[in-house]
Chain A
Amino acid sequence: MSSGDVWIIGTSMTPFGRFEDKDLIDLASDAALDALTDADSTISDMGVVAVGNVYEANSHNGQRLQKQIGQTGVPVYNVVNACATGATAVRVALLSLAAGEADTALAVGAETMGKMGMLGEAAKSRDTKKQYSRKGRYGSVLKTEGILGTGLMPGVFAQAGTEYALRHGVTDVQFARVAQKNHAHSVLNPLAQYRKEFSLQEILEAEAIAYPNTLPMCCPTGDGAAAVVLVSDARLKTLDPDVRKRAVKISASVLTSDPWVESGQVQPDVNTLTRNAADAAYEQAGIGPQDIGLVELHDCFATAELIHYDNLRLCEPGGAGEFIDSGAPWREGKIPVNVSGGLLSKGHPIGATGIANLYEVTAHLRGEAGERQIEGAKVGLTHVIGLASACAVHILEARPTSGSEVG
């Protein structure tokens, strides 16, 4: 009897960076076609397509992609869900398989941000008469950013970090060590946007962005795409043995939003929804944090990674500072975290991020990660969170090598 399991049989990501000669659909096509090749499949085999993108979300990118790689008439879903956009596209594809509407699916995430900068676009100049009037649900008479605190990404994640730090005694050096680790890891990843190692001192003395995060503790903007090909368990059994042996099981797929907390209206709570997603994923997969061989988590800022050690239950409660000090999340450590270089150095083209982390973990579980391979990794966890908020956690498992299944 076939289980309800869903498998990744193909995956790819483009290098992340800035590509002036490629538009969004070029990048999406590159990732999609390469993932299909990796799956020994073609677009004609796909029963459903889901495409995630944030900044061109009203452009029907799924259909634009089909025009370039195959208009097969299957259902297409255009997905946007903050920094969890790519992961949500994967979940849309997965849900189609789980519902029995399709037994093969292609999920793609793509983004072109260029040199947008971490604060977004500059303000437009004003030439009309300035006259205060109450606007919006807060009755604001002028822009409150920078007057009533900061709500921009660097500041929000800095404040999330200091909230944890004030409670648990984390130091700015411990936050900086996260960036030191991820930049060191990125040197081994040919697809990373930046592959430069930084000393702890260089990180601490770099340009301050929003304390305690300095420039190398903030992820860059950039372009890129990633894709996965999913199949149902029943479909997998019909596929070539060479495809089956490289298949990676999705043992858990969870999406959460932020539940109400008193402070949430002024400072997004990035913790509760991550904890909820992690707990549900561990339960779904029937494993615990101690079973995880590697983690790709959402280090949009160094402060974010540190608090997610705790949120994902990788460390003792309140012990994220000691966890980084212990070396546990380094690639040689107990639970390697962001061996790809993470968002801090691999890059963060928003729509692609939640699939690129699946690409990374799949590569390790297949034993195909080259120089940066974590030897013997059998189980991996991916995590993305975007403000709004949306959080996705996936747990992937390598296929047992003994080939217990008859097909």
Chain B
Amino acid sequence: MPNSIGHRMPQQIPIVDYLVLSEPPHLEAHACTGCDALYFDRRNACAHCGGTEFTRKPLSNEGRVRAYTIVHRAAPSVPAPYTSVVVDLDDGGVVKANLLDVTGPEHIEPGMPVRLGTYVAGVDDDGVEAVAFGYRRQEDAA
């Protein structure tokens, strides 16, 4: 189960600021008002149309797997193997994250539906929890 952000929980901070820890947790992008291009990071101008005005846009928690790899030789301190996926979100946006609970290619199919889930990825020396997101196969997450 994706954890939820309730009362009496330790203080939490999203791993990146495009993850919004509301109920339910979801991703938000900067949307170019000129062409609707979506950006997870702050942009000086739109890389697609050159526009300089952006609004915040919440993105769908559901999408489909577009690409993946199972990483066996990982960066230092990253537990392996794990699966990285590129997900086409329903209603727009493409995101990269880990596919949780899957480490075999036989579990991945073209266009497989997935759903966003969150978990605590680390705790700092003040007890603040960093909350990360990943995706689960919809058939597992149901």
By a beta-carbon cutoff of 8 Å, the part of chain A in contact with chain B is 118-119, 122-123, 129-132, 134, 136-152, 154-155, 158-160, 162-163, 166-167, 172, 207-212, 260, 262-263, 265-267
B75 interface neighbour in A141, A146, A166, A266, Cβ under 8 Å: A146
A148 interface neighbour in B42, B72, B92, B98, Cβ under 8 Å: B98
By a beta-carbon cutoff of 8 Å, the part of chain B in contact with chain A is 13-18, 37-42, 47-48, 65-82, 84-86, 88, 92-98, 105, 109-111, 121-122, 124-126, 128, 130, 132-134
A142 near B121: Cβ-Cβ < 8 Å: yes
Report the bound CA distance from A163 to B124 in whole Å: 36
Q: Knowing that A212-B69, A260-B37 are A-B contacts, what are 9 other residue pairs whose CB atoms are under 8 Å apart, sorted by A's residue number? A: A130-B125, A132-B13, A138-B16, A148-B98, A149-B97, A163-B86, A211-B71, A260-B47, A267-B96
B84 near A144: Cβ-Cβ < 8 Å: no
Given A131-B125, A263-B86, A159-B130 contact (CB < 8 Å): no
A residues less than 8 Å from B124 (CB atoms): 130-132
Report the bound CA distance from A162 to B13 in whole Å: 33
Given A138-B16, A139-B16, A212-B105, A152-B75 contact (CB < 8 Å): yes
CB of A217 to closest CB in B, whole Å: 12
The residue in chain A whose Cβ has the minimal distance to the Cβ of B126 is A131
B67 near A159: Cβ-Cβ < 8 Å: yes
Report the bound CA distance from A52 to B134 in whole Å: 40
B84 near A149: Cβ-Cβ < 8 Å: yes
CB of B83 to closest CB in A, whole Å: 8
Selected A-B contacts with CB under 8 Å, 30 pairs: A119-B73, A129-B125, A130-B125, A136-B41, A138-B16, A138-B40, A138-B41, A140-B15, A141-B14, A141-B130, A142-B15, A142-B121, A142-B122, A146-B74, A146-B82, A147-B121, A148-B132, A149-B97, A150-B74, A151-B96, A154-B69, A159-B69, A162-B68, A172-B105, A207-B72, A208-B70, A209-B73, A260-B48, A263-B88, A265-B41
B77 near A166: Cβ-Cβ < 8 Å: no
Report the bound CA distance from A136 to B93 in whole Å: 21
Given A131-B126, A172-B105, A266-B86, A158-B69 contact (CB < 8 Å): yes
Report the bound CA distance from A266 to B29 in whole Å: 13
A210 near B110: Cβ-Cβ < 8 Å: no
B76 interface neighbour in A123, A144, A210, A263, Cβ under 8 Å: A123
The residue in chain B whose Cβ has the minimal distance to the Cβ of A151 is B96
B75 near A267: Cβ-Cβ < 8 Å: no
The residue in chain A whose Cβ has the minimal distance to the Cβ of B129 is A132
CB of B41 to closest CB in A, whole Å: 4
The residue in chain A whose Cβ has the minimal distance to the Cβ of B18 is A138
A residues less than 8 Å from B16 (CB atoms): 138-141, 144, 148
B37 near A144: Cβ-Cβ < 8 Å: no
The residue in chain A whose Cβ has the minimal distance to the Cβ of B110 is A166
CB of A170 to closest CB in B, whole Å: 11
CB of B131 to closest CB in A, whole Å: 9
Report the bound CA distance from A137 to B40 in whole Å: 9
A166 near B65: Cβ-Cβ < 8 Å: yes
Report the bound CA distance from A141 to B111 in whole Å: 31
